[in-house]
Structure 1
Amino acid sequence: MKTLRSAGVEPEVIVSGVDEDHVTAENPGELARTLATLKARAVVATLTDHATVLGCDSVLEIDGEAYGKPGTPEIARERLRLMSGRSGILHTGHCLFDTTTRQEIRELASTTVHFAELTDDEIDAYVATGEPLVVAGSFTVDGIGGPFVTGIDGDYHNVVGVSLPLLRRMLADVGIAWPSLWDLPRVIEYDETEAARYDETRGGTERAQAAAEAVHELLPKGGRVLELAVGTGIVAAELVALGNLVHGVDLSPAMLHHARIRLPGHVTAADATHLPIADRRCDAVVAVWLLHLVPDSDQILAEVARVLRPDGVFITTTQKSDSSRYAGGRTQPDERPQDALAHLIARAAAHGLILDGATTFYGPPMPSTGTSPLYPLVRFRRSGS
């Protein structure tokens, strides 16, 4: 669920299999709460380990009638004509079941939604997208249907599918603090002194130029490039000098201070696992010396696949050879590195990113050994679907 992930919580999604069409209740709000309860209980019945399960279901109420997913274009058109220029109440039932304490909490959140007056052409075009067929009430506020909602009275997140303020209170009732659920990335903190010295301790401009030239070989020409963990912007600036349009994101304020000097107006603070970029907006995503720092690359790869256009490319450094690693005074890590090529190929493929190019480049000689480390660089292409 995008709403929970954006709030720092990584849920495990389990389909309940509940047949919604044969459930009735005395009013639309109670119907939403009943459906949420049935879904939560159905999932709990399948579990073998302790867990906290949240079931949710939404129903739109107009004139006292409950409207769920329309299912067919004909019903969707009829529903949208009914909603046009009017207001409805979006009810979302929430059922939280904590298997450790055996507590079940059932709640309802309701938000009034105001709809624009829609023309028949707008309704036909919207139905043709397929979106209103599979969502409660035949509309979304955070998708293609957003422009058709003129306002809401109440919790925005409730209209999207889960009320975050309500869920926070429900979790507190079973002894779970909301911050304890945050699935935040491990952040390597740099103070201003460390950031100022970072480039010179990592090979400086010579290494950045070598990296940028190798990346440039694998980039599509004339596209929009996003660099993850842009750091001080030293590699990105070299890519710009080679004729690329580059934007960068990073989590370190100290690093971004330097990156903004090199790339004014083209860097922002952001987490690579929750990019503030709409779907399919980038021609290329670049990650130079990032994946070996993270405990799990899967969320990053999922975001890369999301923001890439079909046939867009993801270019990243991968694990150095053993000889280079030992020359640098490092041994193999205890856990599988996330930039190990075999592991990376398998995880990338799960997100529609297929290996289709590679090159290498040398860094400047290391003072301790006099040898130049060899860096592998690979390109994955997003499947064109």
Structure 2
Amino acid sequence: MSVRFVLASSSPARLKTLRAAGVEPEVIVSGVDEDNVTAESPGELARLLATLKARAVVAGLTEHATVLGCDSVLEIDGVAYGKPGTPDAARDRLREMRGKTGVLHTGHCLIDTSGKQELRELESTTVYFADLTDEEIDAYVDTGEPLVVAGSFTVDGLGGAFVTGIEGDYHNVVGLSLPLLRRMLASVGISWPALWQSSPRIQYDDTEAARYDDTRGGFARAKAAAEAVHSLLPWTAAGSSTEVPAGGGQRVLELAVGTGIVGAELVALGNLVHGVDLSESMLQRARIRLPGHVAAADAGRLPVADRRCDAVVAIWLLHLLEDSSAVIAEVARVLRPDGVFITTTEKSDSSRYADGRGPNDTRSQDALSLLVAQAARHGLTLDGATTFPGPPRNTNESPLYPLVRFRRT
């Protein structure tokens, strides 16, 4: 049975938890104003917020789906703590929490539109906090992590060392209870294995990898692409006030790095580049050009911690995918605030127009209108563009490939 499963949450931790469990949800952010919602207890507040999120997303759907809304609230001494929002608030909360025991409540609301069923559940986990020093609190707040999470801490991130123990479901502290979700899905007639999905994998064998560069314009196109990407990087763009710190601190992650031919040109321009790809045949060549800086990984499930990259680059990737939403979500997760995503766009249509043919509506995952809409859901805003030439075609004219930049807000 095919299930359209929607996560009504912008939480990277919840998305990461589901993906680690083999579930690739469609993410739709609810837009619910959490600050103006009240309830009689912290647990009821978490359940109410989860319900409001799920209902808000369902209201905007035009097709049937199973929608999960979640919200977490930390309770200490009967007081509810959500996201602090500011460094001062986070610092005050962490000082109040240190050495104490709290209860992390996560509300779950599952709405199955086809069966017109709505389930509302609450999972609560006891959390024991270490007696943090003022220096540890200040250092933790400076990372920015506690500002955007319920209760000002994480158990799966930098804050994990400050949690001395839990009683209950670990995943519930991260943001959603997998065992509870499994039971809720069973109540609406959906088995847990029905949600297991595999991302499409585009592979190249040794023969294809060996001739890939020559059939894709070789070094000339790779250099043109790298120079165009370089011009859009925030620390090299014309008029930019952003400077590269000593030691080349900015991190550029190239998705579908392939043979590393573009990445190597970016390195030659002074950038620190890491790359991921699914094809071992391609990676064998990339390891020669980018030794120690490439890894086998799915662009839709990146082995990168949250907010670790200054720029993510994708050259000729999105048009190959059946659905680019998972990749966009991952890009937003790993980018630092004010980081940028640079990608080619409209490749299939530009190639078809160059050959005198019309557009192909069946391959639109790199269509600019679609990318702008998907990016907006994850806090990415289009704020730059350029083009670069490809190899000459039969007319001896070089086609121009569009390159766009999205900035993480």
2:97 corresponds to 1:69: no
Distance 1:324 1:38 in 2: 46
1:267 Cα offset (Å) = 1.1
- Select the residue among 371, 386, 389 that pairs with 1:358: 386
Distance 2:224 2:57 in 1: 54
Which letter does structure 1 place at the counterpart of 2:407?
Answer: R
Tell me the residue number matched to 2:27.
Answer: 11
Which letter does structure 2 place at the counterpart of 1:361?
Answer: P
Distance 2:147 2:343 in 1: 39
Which letter does structure 1 place at the counterpart of 2:388?
Answer: T
Tell me the residue number matched to 2:399.
Answer: 374
* CA spacing shift, 1:382–1:102, aligned 2, 3 Å: closer
**Looking at CA atoms only, which structure, 1 or 2, has the larger radius of gyration?**
1
* CA spacing shift, 1:382–1:92, aligned 2, 3 Å: closer
Residues 24-72 of structure 1: CA distance to partner in whole angstroms, max 9, x if unpaired?
5xxx76x47864786489659957864434344445456xx54422688
Tell me the residue number matched to 2:298.
Answer: 271
* CA spacing shift, 1:201–1:126, aligned 2, 3 Å: closer
- Select the residue among 19, 22, 34 that pairs with 2:39: 22
Residues 65-92 of structure 1: CA distance to partner in whole angstroms, max 9, x if unpaired?
5442268899987865564224334343
Task: Report matched runs for 1:208-223 at 5 Å.
Answer: 208-219=222-233, 220=236, 223=250
1:232 Cα offset (Å) = 1.9
Distance 1:381 1:277 in 2: 19
Distance 1:117 1:208 in 2: 53
Distance 1:13 1:5 in 2: 12
Tell me the residue number matched to 2:166.
Answer: 152
Give the root-mean-square deviation of aligned CA atoms. 4.4
Task: Report matched runs for 1:310-321 at 5 Å.
Answer: 312-319=339-346
Q: 8 Å contact 1:126–1:145 — kept in the other structure?
A: yes
Q: 8 Å contact 1:36–1:56 — kept in the other structure?
A: yes
Distance 1:342 1:48 in 2: 19
- Select the residue among 238, 247, 256 that pairs with 2:265: 238
Q: 8 Å contact 2:319–2:347 — kept in the other structure?
A: no
Tell me the percent identity.
62
1:242 Cα offset (Å) = 4.2
3-state SS, counterpart of residue 352 of structure 1: strand
Which letter does structure 2 place at the counterpart of 1:23?
Answer: E
Larger displacement relative to structure 2 (150-159 or 51-60): 51-60
1:116 Cα offset (Å) = 0.7
Distance 2:75 2:289 in 1: 53
3-state SS, counterpart of residue 258 of structure 2: coil
* CA spacing shift, 1:262–1:88, aligned 2, 3 Å: same
Tell me the residue number matched to 2:12.
Answer: 2
Residues 287-340 of structure 1: CA distance to partner in whole angstroms, max 9, x if unpaired?
222232235555545554554456655443344697853565865212473445
Q: 8 Å contact 1:88–1:113 — kept in the other structure?
A: yes
3-state SS, counterpart of residue 202 of structure 2: coil
Larger displacement relative to structure 2 (233-242 or 331-340): 331-340
Q: 8 Å contact 2:30–2:54 — kept in the other structure?
A: no
Distance 1:318 1:194 in 2: 24
2:127 corresponds to 1:92: no
Instruction: Give the TM-score, by structure 1 length.
Output: 0.74
Tell me the residue number matched to 1:229.
Answer: 256
Tell me the residue number matched to 2:8.
Answer: none
What is the aligned length?
374
Distance 2:222 2:147 in 1: 50
3-state SS, counterpart of residue 94 of structure 1: strand
Distance 1:69 1:351 in 2: 28
3-state SS, counterpart of residue 283 of structure 2: helix
3-state SS, counterpart of residue 175 of structure 1: coil
Q: Specify every segment of 5 or more residues in structure 1 that has no aligned partner in the other structure, as ranges.
A: none
Instruction: Give the TM-score, by structure 2 length.
Output: 0.70
Which letter does structure 2 place at the counterpart of 1:3?
Answer: A
1:169 Cα offset (Å) = 3.2
Which letter does structure 2 place at the counterpart of 1:21?
Answer: T
* CA spacing shift, 1:315–1:15, aligned 2, 3 Å: closer
2:181 corresponds to 1:167: yes
Which letter does structure 2 place at the counterpart of 1:378?
Answer: L
Q: 8 Å contact 2:252–2:274 — kept in the other structure?
A: yes
* CA spacing shift, 1:238–1:329, aligned 2, 3 Å: farther
2:130 corresponds to 1:116: yes
Task: Report matched runs for 1:332-347 at 5 Å.
Answer: 332-335=359-362, 337-340=364-367
